[in-house]
Amino acid sequence: MIQTPLLTRRDFIRAGFYGALFLSCGSQLNTFSSLFPTDADPVATLLDLTSEEFAGDEETIPHDVLRFGKGRNLSIHSSAKHNLVIVGGGMAGLCSAYFLKKYKPVVLEQAERFGGNSKGEEWEGIPYSIGAAYITVPEKGSVIENFLGELGILSMGRMESGREGAVVLDRGELARGFWQGATDPSQKSSFEKVLQKFNSVYEKGYPSIPFDPEGSLGESEWKNLEEMTFAQWILRELPDLHPHIQEFLIQYCWSSFGGGADEISAAQALNFISADLQGTLAFPGGNSAITQALYRKLKKNIGSSCLRSRSVVTEIALRKEGVSVTYRDEKGQKNVIEAKVCVVALPKFVAKHIMPDLSLEQKEAMAQIRYRAYLVANVLIKGKITSPSYELFRLTRTIPRNNTDDLLSRPFTDLIFANWVRQDEGNHSVLTLYKAYPFEGGRFKFLEPDFYQKAKEDFEKGFSEILSALNLSPSRIAGIRIARWGHALPLATPGFLSSGLVQKACAPLGDKIFFAEQDNWANPSFETAFDEAQKVAENVNRLTSLSF
């Protein structure tokens, strides 16, 4: 019995993939100028190992503008006309710009660097993610595989099987073959039974997000899964779940969705885990490799002048002839762009504050989307280590309880070996630790006094386990970099998709404003951002009034 707290990913992967392919502005506009070069590249070279400034969200100026309206009464510094403006330079925004590059779109990003939560850093030649870390393995010849090939990064990827040889950190010891009963060999058949169940879901009853009429599930079956929690599905389908698997699945939900298994739709959870078990594909620096390649392609195709970071959009308003987009640039000056079409690649919790033409119904639907937070700590290790896997989860052999203290007491949920993708080449290593804040108001913890030091101490509680498992001395730690993401994960609650609220939240405004974001379907994945960008591009391309 599982205890509380307890695009379409499958479309892009198939079992038996053809083998591993080896191969927001801050408190000041120049928050990271001492840490990184000044380019807006999604992957930045780390220059200062001693800094105790958070990477990730850059919240101060956006909060001042969006919640308190600072700067909205400034006089207009400049105005211009463009066919297309894309607001938001994360994965969905950059994909939208790539698919619509023939229109030479202007892309406005509030943060200093593009990439959203698919950004990365590089230390001593080793790229590492500060957010999203992998995608599901694309089917050979699929649109995603072709896309990655166009970007020139497909050959850089490496596949990890989620079924065979999965490694966990079990009470401070590395255990390989989790789904083959490595943590309890006497109960091997119990682990294999669960794996077979997830494989069966993938092959015969995969819940596509959104619902796919041509998928393996009928609409009533899909709706039934979408309206129950993952914990309820477990009780129904796997009532005698081994406690080690219970702990694993709870933490999987925390890490993937920012919520417990009793909060997440069974359809959303099964959409993720049954696909991930078939295999995941990782790149050097995680998903920042994708945004990096996109950004550099776009610089060549549309020009650097169209890629504007540190540009905080304060209003997106309908006009008779199109859309007016107002933003503050890096100097704090107010600018206006009159566009024919605007793609809003922002989370809905931001969009609802800056779009005066939204209906009350659409604003209320946007307000129903909940978001969760997480932290990422990158531990910089002097010298080479042998990576046992790409990702592993930390197990204590105690099932998490549904209270905040228990949630926060775990130093991290899962761990990435950043250099595994490149088969540990180079002279140093980086370990990437993830810690979910899977409860309402978790992000407000990030604003507490001295939170950076507290977060660092919490992560350090778990260092000893992994260092011991790898036979590493603490003296090998060269530095620690911590990233915070306050609203990164849209919470995939039961019944949200079938209620119609999410469809109302992302409904376009006529033929002038379109939404492209992972929260369109409360499905926090690269595949959803990619798919929604493609859909937007198809809609924009139907508008014959656009000239280019």
Predicted confidence at residue 50, as pLDDT, reads 79
Asked if residue 20 has pLDDT above 90, the reply is no
CB atoms within 10 A of CB 142: 15
| Sign of the dihedral through C-alpha 70, 72, 73, 76 | positive
Residue range(s) defining the domain that contains residue 100: 43-50+57-119+287-367+500-541
Predicted confidence at residue 344, as pLDDT, reads 98
Q: Which two tokens stand for residue 18?
A: 């053809």
Q: Which two tokens stand for residue 481?
A: 């970099």
Tell me how many helices (H) and strands (E) the chain has. 15, 21
Q: Does the residue 268 lie in any domain?
A: no
Predicted confidence at residue 52, as pLDDT, reads 83
Asked if residue 79 has pLDDT above 90, the reply is no
Asked if residue 11 has pLDDT above 70, the reply is no
Predicted confidence at residue 73, as pLDDT, reads 72
Taking CA atoms, 250 is separated from 26, 447, 462, 540, in Å, by 33, 26, 18, 40
Q: How far apart are CA 525 and CA 472, in angstroms?
A: 33
Predicted confidence at residue 19, as pLDDT, reads 31
Share of the chain above pLDDT 90, in %: 77
Residue 102, C-beta contacts closer than 8 angstroms, at least 6 positions apart: 548
Counting the structural domains of the chain, the total is 1
Q: For 90-111, how does the pLDDT look when each residue is reduced to its tens digit (9 = 90+)?
A: 999 999 999 999 999 999 999 9
Q: What is the mean pLDDT of residues 31-45?
A: 61
Which residue do the tokens 């959009």 mark?
313
Q: What global pTM score does this model have?
A: 0.91
Share of the chain above pLDDT 70, in %: 89
Lowest mean pLDDT among 24-38, 58-72, 447-461: 24-38
Instruction: Indicate which CATH number applies to the domain containing 323.
Output: 3.50.50.60
- Side-chain-side CA neighbours of residue 79 (13 Å): 6
The CA angle 89-483-137, to the nearest 5 degrees, is: 65
Q: What is the mean pLDDT of residues 138-157?
A: 95
Predicted confidence at residue 70, as pLDDT, reads 60
Q: Does the residue 396 lie in any domain?
A: no
Q: Does the residue 302 lie in any domain?
A: yes
Lowest mean pLDDT among 267-276, 324-333, 357-366: 324-333
Instruction: Say how many residues make up the chain.
Output: 548
Q: Does the residue 355 lie in any domain?
A: yes
Contact 418, 429 (CB under 8 A): yes
Contact 315, 309 (CB under 8 A): no
Predicted confidence at residue 455, as pLDDT, reads 93
Give the pLDDT band of residue 71 (cuts 50, 70, 90).
Answer: low
Predicted confidence at residue 2, as pLDDT, reads 41
Residue 408, C-beta contacts closer than 8 angstroms, at least 6 positions apart: 437, 458
What are the backbone dihedrals phi and psi of residue 298, each rounded to the nearest 5 degrees, phi first? -65, -35
Q: What is the mean pLDDT of residues 493-497?
A: 94
Asked if residue 3 has pLDDT above 50, the reply is no
Q: Does the residue 10 lie in any domain?
A: no
Residue ranges of alpha helices (H) inside 42-167 are 60-68, 91-99, 143-151
Taking CA atoms, 535 is separated from 18, 95, 541, 548, in Å, by 28, 11, 10, 20
Q: What is the mean pLDDT of residues 44-66?
A: 75
Q: What is the DSSP code string of 380-418?
A: EESS----S-SEEEEE-SSPPPSSHHHHHHSS-SEEEEG
Q: What is the mean pLDDT of residues 506-516?
A: 95
Q: For 157-197, how does the pLDDT look when each residue is reduced to its tens digit (9 = 90+)?
A: 999 988 888 999 999 999 999 999 999 999 999 999 999 99
Asked if residue 35 has pLDDT above 70, the reply is no
Q: For 265-324, how does the pLDDT look when each residue is reduced to its tens digit (9 = 90+)?
A: 999 999 999 999 999 999 999 999 999 999 999 999 999 999 999 999 999 999 998 999
Instruction: Specify the amino acid at residue 499.
Output: S
Predicted confidence at residue 61, as pLDDT, reads 55
| Sign of the dihedral through C-alpha 516, 517, 519, 524 | positive
End-to-end CA gap in the chain: 59
Q: Does the residue 301 lie in any domain?
A: yes
Q: Does the residue 131 lie in any domain?
A: no
Lowest mean pLDDT among 41-50, 269-278, 383-392, 521-530: 41-50
Contact 438, 259 (CB under 8 A): yes
Q: How far apart are CA 215 and CA 206, in angstroms?
A: 7
Predicted confidence at residue 153, as pLDDT, reads 96
Q: What is the mean pLDDT of residues 488-516?
A: 94
Residue 205, C-beta contacts closer than 8 angstroms, at least 6 positions apart: 216, 217, 221
Taking CA atoms, 533 is separated from 92, 95, 142, 294, 333, in Å, by 6, 6, 16, 13, 30
Predicted confidence at residue 297, as pLDDT, reads 96
H or E element that contains 436: strand 429-437
Q: What is the DSSP code string of 272-337?
A: HHHHHTT-EEE-TTTTHHHHHHHHHHHHHHT-GGGEE-S-EEEEEEEETTEEEEEEE-TTS-EEEE
Q: How far apart are CA 89 and CA 100, in angstroms?
A: 14
- Side-chain-side CA neighbours of residue 94 (13 Å): 33
What are the backbone dihedrals phi and psi of residue 34, each rounded to the nearest 5 degrees, phi first? -85, -15
Q: Which residue has the higher pLDDT, 5 or 427?
A: 427
Q: Which two tokens stand for residue 327?
A: 């933003």
SS3 per-residue string spanning 125-140: CEEEECCCCCEECCCC
Asked if residue 47 has pLDDT above 50, the reply is yes
CA dihedral in degrees (275, 196, 227, 528; nearest 10)?
A: 0
Mean pLDDT, the chain, whole residue set: 88
Q: Does the residue 376 lie in any domain?
A: no
Q: How far apart are CA 183 and CA 169, in angstroms?
A: 10
Asked if residue 227 has pLDDT above 80, the reply is yes
Asked if residue 83 has pLDDT above 60, the reply is yes
Asked if residue 403 has pLDDT above 90, the reply is no
